[in-house]
Structure formats: C-alpha cells, structure tokens
Amino acid sequence: MRNGIALSTEEKTAYCDRLTAVLVELRKRLGQTQEEMESTSGISRVTLSQIESGRSRMSWLHFTALMQLFVQNQESKELLYVRGILDERLLRAYQYLTPEEAPEFNPAVPEHQLPNMNNV
C-alpha cells in the first residue's frame, strides 16, 4: 500500500464540503459535462448531479477521485488552492507526475511517514 495522509473524519468532511461548493465551477473550467466527467472520474453522472445539487453528500472516495482529475489541470489546481481545498497537506500528496503515482489517503498512516517531497 502506498503512503497517505492521516486525516480525521471531520477533516475529510470539511474537504468534501469545500470541494462540493466549487464542483460545478471546476467541472465547467475543465469544459466537461457530467457525462464526460463520469468517464474521466469514474463517478456516475447521477451521483455527480446529486452532489452538485446538494441532494447527496460527497464521500471521501468521490473526493479523492475528483482530486486526481482536477490536479492534472493547472487552472483547476489553482482554483483548488485559492479556495483552500488544495492546502499544504494535500499539495504535498499531489506533487506527483501522474495520477498513478499519487498516494492513497490512508487514515492509518501518520503524516510523518509520508515520503519527503523535497527530494522529488
């Protein structure tokens, strides 16, 4: 298993809520419809619609899938940073070259066990 970042349930919920608040804007900045985002994120169009409309809450699994997509685009990555979603903790985890290299967010792995990103 890859390294991850230790986050409490409350922290995960806060990240999910902040991403939900800008999800429509981020999707539109990528120029994607819900159907297109379904194929790029793996989250169904129905689920995306429910999250965007507030009928369903974003899960941590949804959050990590969407973050993998959004951090690959500089404009959406900057918006995530400005809105406080991609903060220093998450930024360290997403400073990888490809989505396959990014760590899973494993709550069992303490932050001090993360790889040293200064040497990358």
Residue 54 dihedral angles phi and psi, to the nearest 5°: 85, 5
Domains of the chain, residue spans: 9-107
Architecture of the domain delimited by 9-107: Orthogonal Bundle (1.10)
Specify the 3-state DSSP secondary structure of 26.
Answer: helix
Confidence of residue 6 (pLDDT cuts 50, 70, 90): confident
Better-predicted residue by pLDDT, 91 or 57? 57
Residue 92 has pLDDT above 50, yes or no: yes
- Mean pLDDT on 63-87: 87
Whether residue 57 contacts residue 12, with contact meaning beta carbons closer than 8 Å, is answered with: no
Q: Is the pTM of this model over 0.85?
A: no
Alpha-carbon gap, residue 47 to 40, rounded angstroms: 14
Question: What is the pLDDT, as a whole number, of residue 77?
Answer: 85
